[in-house]
Amino acid sequence: MRAAVLRAYNDDLAIETRPEPHAEPDGVVLRVLACGVCRSDWHGWTGEHPRVKPGQVPGHEYCGEVVEAGPLARWHVGDRVVAPFILACGHCPACASGNQHVCPDQRLPGFVEPGAFAEYLAVPFAHNLARLPERMTPAAAAALGCRATTAWHALTGRADLKAGEWLAIHGTGGVGLSAMLIGKALGARVVVVDIVPEKLSHALGLGADAAVDARHCDAAAAIRDITGGGAHVSLEALGIAQTTNASIECLRPLGRHVQVGMPVGHTARMEINMNAVYMKNLALFGTRGMPSWRYPSLLALIEHGDVDFAPLIAREVALADASRELRAFGGPTPPGVAVITDFAH
Ligand SMILES: [Zn+2]
Ligand SMILES: [Zn+2]
């Protein structure tokens, strides 16, 4: 099969021929129909992701068709499925309490084992998979990737966003845009922040109530102004100090900050305005991924038309284009997400 392999950080992925994988007893093998390209892949490609080493096949945002099922997997050949990027064991205390996203025995295709920048993918712990809704295309499902699932859990499982509240979003890449769409569907008012005017107008066109261009102002002050005293919930989607502090400083007293952006490499430790946390009695939430049992709730929201993630997909590309898409994360990115749908080229 064809697979794109990281051989050297910051270098083009090598398109190689590899043996097809086999299913583990509780796993499946998927023919990959679509796989999103994500900033997390970029972190791995640059060498900043702590777990991604040369030899890795990236790709953790996949939708595929089952071509082989292990004897303990409940899926059948021909089933079309989508996965959360964290595959949980299913029987530890974290899993038993419904918190599969913090399972200590989690498996991570695309980060520590072969991912879906390939024609076929072995998925262990197949009980984490969810059935692809009839009317959803594989590209749309893959574009949900880690971004819509992470945003869904960040807002509803962590920060408990309520209708009528103001939600501020710092960074309107894939996860920020997903959070904006979900926030609107939940009845919140949403203000987005970015430094790329095209992304701000894109977000406004998709329903954001206000937009702040952080190149020209103090973003936190602008948000406090727009929201009449500060946002109730603020989501940071980049993982850097400047936006994390803007997120904390834009909140009203008793506000909730959610750390969605992944701080890695030189941003792993940052200087934070803890005085604002103290004085305003803020709550800080970390969040990573989504427990797999919450997938049907998100898919139902989409199926019933409450939220439309179609605008997330900016372009469908071939496997050979993955390197160009990764490289693009190094600068200001255009709106939307790239999804690999052609694995033969
Ligand atoms: Zn577990
Ligand atoms: Zn991702």
pLDDT tens, residue order, the chain (345 aa) = 999 999 999 999 999 999 999 999 999 999 999 999 998 899 999 999 889 999 999 999 999 999 999 999 999 999 999 998 999 999 999 999 999 999 999 999 999 999 999 999 999 999 999 999 988 999 999 988 889 999 999 999 999 999 999 999 999 988 999 999 999 999 999 999 999 999 999 999 999 999 999 999 999 999 999 999 999 999 999 999 999 999 999 999 999 999 999 998 888 999 999 999 999 999 999 999 999 999 888 998 998 888 998 888 889 999 999 999 999 998 887 777 899 999 999
Q: How remote is the CA of residue 344 from the centroid of ligand 1, in Å?
A: 35
**CA nearest neighbour of 193 among 152, 149, 223:** 223
Amino acid 317: pLDDT: 96
N-term to C-term CA, the chain: 12
Measure the CA–CA gap between 331 and 322, rounded to whole angstroms. Answer: 16
- DSSP conformation class of 136: -
Q: Is the C-alpha dihedral spanning 65, 299, 318, 6 positive or negative?
A: negative
Are 167 and 154 in contact by the 8 Å Cβ rule? The answer is: no
Cα of 278 to ligand 2 centre, how many Å? 32
Q: Ligand 1 centroid vs 123 CA: distance in angstroms? A: 15
Q: Quick check: 202 and 334 in contact, CB under 8 A?
A: no
CA distance 221 to 276: 13
Matching residue, tokens 């919450």: 294
What beta strand segments (E) does 28-69 contain? 28-36, 62-69
Q: Which residues contact 235 (CB under 8 A, 6 or more apart)?
A: 151, 154, 155, 159, 167, 168, 169, 170, 176, 179, 247, 257, 258, 260
Distance 104 CA to ligand 1 centre (A): 6
Considering only CA atoms, which of 237, 336, 307 is closest in space to residue 36?
336
Q: How far does residue 107's CA lie from ligand 1's centre (Å)? A: 10
Q: What is the largest CA-CA distance in the chain?
A: 59
